[in-house]
Each structure stands twice: as structure tokens, then as C-alpha cells.
């Protein structure tokens, strides 16, 4: 605009026309809630018609989702926001029922006769993941004494946005996030993007365990962000480990603990036997020994060698050792037999220790059967209780290649039989006595009745 002041002087004023747009650079919203994206503009020509358009980037191209002017407004139907978006009178774009796909850049553009201007708003969608759960920790973990690491457990948290982060803790101390499998402690992370757009994250923890880890307490947390830059954490339940030490078989050295052995030893009565169990498995230790200072035939049997970790109750491994003691037979003290009367059948059992298994001889002989119970050999005989058997008894002799032993079995008639006869005779005499006494009383009563009757009739 120029004006002539006089013939010599011209005054010109330059007027710049244009539009300015103002938006919120970043808007945070929780999935499922409503997002509000403000937009305002100013123009140098307020009388001119200005149209505000909201655009999104969709599949590599820009697409309008809504528009508004002083005379008209509308929402485009063929967009991912159709049915969930409106534009208010102040040009604010309102998106309801937000989902993770709504996280993108939005452009507010104002256009009119004096120009076109736009600004970008970034919408960020947040969603808290589920509480982390640890799996695979409730199984017994085998400590093999090597330098390999064992899987402690897998921590999983479902459905979070943006992508959460898992942190492992041991005794309330966070473990460094290490993914190098050559390290003693490392993690194997995994991320899955669900069809909903949410993230499921997991992390498997591997540790080179020792016996001290049986007392350790582990847990994991999921760390995630929420609107306004807030960082939150959710922890799993605490858990401990069940450790098991693996032991290896070695029968000739004392530096390695046996895993499972079955020894079959032959000893004499004068030998002393000592069995020692040790091992050098890393992280597990104990020392056990069994000494038989005085070996007898009764020492034969199965012994158990136990390796354990004192600091971990219930953590142990056992091995069975069978000891066989050779020697002359030893017969157990015989039990006295009883019969009702002479001639009745009577049974005897003769039990003997000794190896090799003894042979039995009975005097007098009878019907014999032999059985084995543990390390005992038992001979059973049945014969009639003759007069000579009642008088002299029965002799059992057990013998093997190392010697022999014999014991006499006595037989008696049960004393209870004579007492029973005496009791029967006593009962019989008492019965006769009371019967006679009752009879006498009855006679007296009858006599009195007859006497009274005769007196009443005038007779004496």
C-alpha cells in the first residue's frame, strides 16, 4: 500500500498476510480411553474462510480423517479411525476407544486465501502389562559339577505397550542384563507382538549354580512406561530352587562318591570292614563312613551309604552295599514246645545264621521243610510226641564247610490239661451239693404244709 505525500515523496507500507497453527507436540493416552488432540490457528485475514484438516500417514500416503470450517465439518469414512473420531468446534480431534494402532503422527493443517500451514502431533498409546509369572522353577535342578549353567526359570509378562522390559533379581539384588551365553549368568530374552498389537515379553535365566543357591530367593519384575513419562514395575512371586547333586560311580577310588553300587563282600568273624563314601563334586560335599569293628554273622545284610548336602535339607543320594559274612552256623536259642497229650503231633523250627547256607539234621527225624528269610536259614520239622521225644527232646544240627552247631528242643505236656480236669470235678461236686440241699429244703416245706392241714381238720 503506497501513498503520495507530495511530488517528491512516496510512502509505502508492506503488509505480510499468513496463517499460524499451534498443536500439542505429543499426547499420551491409555489404550481404550479417549484421546484429545488440540489444534488452533490464527490468520491475518479473519474475514476469509479458513478450513482445518486433520491428516494421518497411512500405508505410505497421507489421508484425511476429519475437517472443519466456519460453515461445514465432516469425518472421512474410509480411514482406520472411522466411527471413532470427531472434530470439535475448537478444531480438537477426539479419538475414542483408542488402540495401539492409533499410535502415529497426526497433522493439523489450516488453509485459506492467505496461505496454508500445518503442525504435527504424535499420539502415544500405553497399556500396563500383566503381572509376570515364572515357570519351570519348580522342578529339581541337577548340579553336575561342571561349569555349565542351569536354567533357573522363565519369566513371562503378557500384553503390554510399549514393549516392556524384564529384570531378574537374586536375593533382592537386580542381575545385570547379560545375553552372552558364555557367561556364568545370562538371560535369553524373547518378544512376541500379539495380533492386538500388544507385546508379550519373556526372559529365561541361566545360572551356574552352587549349593549356596539353595538358600537364594529369586524373582523377576516387568518394567514399563505409562503416560507423562512415568516408569512402573510389577513383580512376580518369590521362589527358591530345589537342587540335586549328581554323583558318579567309581568303586576303586575314594575321591569320587558312588552313585549306585552293589558290593558283595565275604568276611570272617575276625575281620574289620570299613566302607567310606566321599566325593569331589563342586558345590556338594559330605563325608560318611561305616566301620564294623567286630564282625559277626548278624552283621550280614544291606547297608546304605548316604551322600548329602547339610545346608540343603532333603538333598541326598544313597547307595546300597550288601555284606555277606562267612562262618560256621549259629542256631538261635530254641523255644520249648507243648502238646496236649502224648502222641500228639509237634512242630519245631530251627533258625540258623551262617554262610554257606547250612544243612540241617534232626534227631529223631520227621517231615522237614526249609525256607530262607533274609540271611537266616530256617528248617521246620513235624513229628509225633512219643515217649522218647517227651523224655529226651529233639536235637537240631546245622552244618556247613566252616563248622556246625546244634541245639536241643524240649517237649512237654501242657499243664493246663490237669487243672482243667480238677476244675471240672470241683464244679460237679458243687452241683451235686446244691441239688441235694435244695431237695432237703423242699422236703421240709412239704412236711410243714401237710402238718398244718391236718391240724386244721382236727387231726393231729
CATH of the domain at 312: 2.60.40
Please report the pLDDT score of residue 316 as a whole number: 66
Scan for cell 561342571, then name that residue.
146
Give the model confidence (pLDDT) of 45-73 as tens digits.
Answer: 888 899 999 999 888 889 999 999 999 99
For residue 5, being part of any structural domain is answered with: no
The dihedral sign for the CA sequence 210, 211, 216, 218? positive
Contact status, residue 377 vs residue 356, Cβ threshold 8 Å: no
Mark which of 325, 342, 359 sits at the end of a domain: 325
> Range with the lowest mean pLDDT among 237-241, 320-324, 343-347?
320-324
The cell for 25 is: 507436540
Whether the per-residue pLDDT at 263 is higher than 70: the answer is no
Contact status, residue 149 vs residue 187, Cβ threshold 8 Å: no
Query: Alpha helix locations (H) across 5-75?
Result: none
Which pTM does this prediction carry? 0.53
For residue 6, being part of any structural domain is answered with: no
Q: Quote the domain boundaries for residue 59.
A: 18-126
For residue 27, being part of any structural domain is answered with: yes
Distance, in Å, from the CA atom of 120 to the CA atom of 56, rounded to the nearest integer, reads: 10
Distance, in Å, from the CA atom of 21 to the CA atom of 108, rounded to the nearest integer, reads: 8
How far CA 419 is from CA of 178, 415, 423, 425, in Å, comes to 93, 7, 6, 10
* Residue 99 phi, psi (nearest 5): -130, 175
What DSSP line would sit under 367-422, residue for residue?
Answer: EEEEEEETTEEEEEEEEE--HHHHHH-EEEEEEETTEEEEEEE-EEE-THHHHHHH
Whether the per-residue pLDDT at 292 is higher than 60: the answer is no
For residue 11, being part of any structural domain is answered with: no
Residues 139 and 46 in one domain: no
Determine if the peptide bond prior to 364 is cis (ω within 30°): yes
- Greater model confidence, 454 or 335: 335
Give the model confidence (pLDDT) of 137-180 as tens digits.
Answer: 777 776 665 578 889 999 999 999 999 999 999 999 999 999 99
Residues 274 and 339 in one domain: no
The bridge status of strand 288-292 relative to strand 273-277 is: antiparallel
For residue 12, being part of any structural domain is answered with: no
Mark which of 63, 95, 126 sits at the end of a domain: 126
For residue 7, being part of any structural domain is answered with: no
For residue 284, being part of any structural domain is answered with: yes
Provide the percentage of residues in the chain whose pLDDT is more than 90.
Answer: 51
Please report the pLDDT score of residue 34 as a whole number: 97
Residues 48 and 119 in one domain: yes
- Number of folded domains that form the chain: 5
Please report the pLDDT score of residue 375 as a whole number: 83
Q: What is the mean pLDDT of residues 294-298?
A: 73
Highest mean predicted confidence (pLDDT) among 251-265, 312-326, 430-444: 312-326
Amino acid at each position: 500500500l503506497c501513498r503520495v505525500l507530495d511530488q517528491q515523496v512516496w510512502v509505502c507500507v508492506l503488509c505480510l498476510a499468513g496463517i499460524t497453527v499451534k498443536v500439542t507436540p505429543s499426547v499420551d493416552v491409555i489404550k481404550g480411553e479417549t484421546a484429545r488432540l488440540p489444534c488452533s490457528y490464527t490468520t491475518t485475514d479473519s474475514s476469509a474462510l479458513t478450513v482445518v484438516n486433520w491428516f494421518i500417514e497411512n500405508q505410505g500416503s497421507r489421508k484425511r480423517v476429519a475437517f472443519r470450517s466456519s460453515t461445514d465439518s465432516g469425518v472421512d469414512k474410509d480411514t482406520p479411525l472411522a466411527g471413532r473420531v470427531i472434530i470439535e468446534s475448537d478444531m480438537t480431534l477426539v479419538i475414542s476407544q483408542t488402540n495401539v494402532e492409533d499410535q502415529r503422527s497426526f497433522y493439523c493443517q489450516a488453509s485459506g486465501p492467505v496461505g496454508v500451514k500445518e503442525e504435527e502431533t504424535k499420539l502415544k498409546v500405553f497399556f500396563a502389562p500383566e503381572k509376570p509369572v515364572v515357570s519351570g522353577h519348580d522342578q529339581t535342578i541337577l548340579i553336575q559339577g561342571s561349569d555349565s549353567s542351569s536354567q533357573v526359570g522363565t519369566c513371562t509378562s503378557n500384553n503390554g505397550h510399549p514393549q516392556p522390559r524384564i529384570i531378574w533379581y537374586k536375593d533382592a539384588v537386580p542381575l545385570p542384563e547379560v545375553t552372552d551365553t558364555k557367561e556364568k549368568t545370562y538371560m535369553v530374552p524373547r518378544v512376541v507382538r500379539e495380533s492386538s498389537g500388544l507385546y508379550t515379553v519373556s526372559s529365561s535365566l541361566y545360572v551356574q549354580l552352587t549349593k549356596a543357591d539353595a538358600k537364594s530367593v529369586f524373582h523377576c519384575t516387568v518394567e514399563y512406561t505409562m503416560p507423562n513419562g512415568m516408569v512402573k514395575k510389577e513383580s512376580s512371586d518369590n521362589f527358591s530352587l530345589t537342587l540335586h547333586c549328581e554323583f558318579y560311580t567309581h568303586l576303586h577310588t575314594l575321591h569320587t562318591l558312588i552313585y549306585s553300587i552293589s558290593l558283595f563282600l565275604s568276611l570272617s568273624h575276625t575281620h574289620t570292614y570299613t566302607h567310606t563314601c566321599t566325593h569331589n563334586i563342586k558345590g556338594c560335599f559330605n563325608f560318611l563312613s561305616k566301620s564294623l569293628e567286630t564282625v559277626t554273622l548278624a552283621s550280614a545284610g544291606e547297608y546304605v551309604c548316604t551322600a548329602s548336602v547339610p545346608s540343603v535339607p532333603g538333598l541326598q543320594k544313597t547307595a546300597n552295599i550288601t555284606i555277606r559274612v562267612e562262618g560256621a552256623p549259629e542256631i538261635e536259642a530254641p523255644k520249648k514246645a507243648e502238646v496236649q497229650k502224648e502222641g500228639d503231633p509237634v512242630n519245631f523250627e530251627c533258625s540258623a545264621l551262617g554262610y554257606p547256607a547250612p544243612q540241617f539234621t534232626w534227631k529223631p527225624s520227621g517231615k522237614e521243610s526249609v525256607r530262607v528269610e533274609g540271611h537266616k536259614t530256617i528248617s521246620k520239622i513235624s513229628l509225633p510226641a512219643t515217649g522218647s521225644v517227651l523224655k529226651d527232646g529233639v536235637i537240631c544240627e546245622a552244618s556247613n564247610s566252616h563248622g556246625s552247631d546244634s541245639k536241643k528242643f524240649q517237649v512237654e505236656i501242657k499243664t493246663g490239661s490237669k487243672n482243667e480236669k480238677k476244675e471240672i470235678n470241683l464244679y460237679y461236686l458243687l452241683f451235686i451239693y446244691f441239688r441235694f440241699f435244695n431237695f432237703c429244703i423242699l422236703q421240709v416245706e412239704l412236711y410243714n404244709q401237710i402238718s398244718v392241714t391236718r391240724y386244721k381238720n382236727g387231726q393231729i
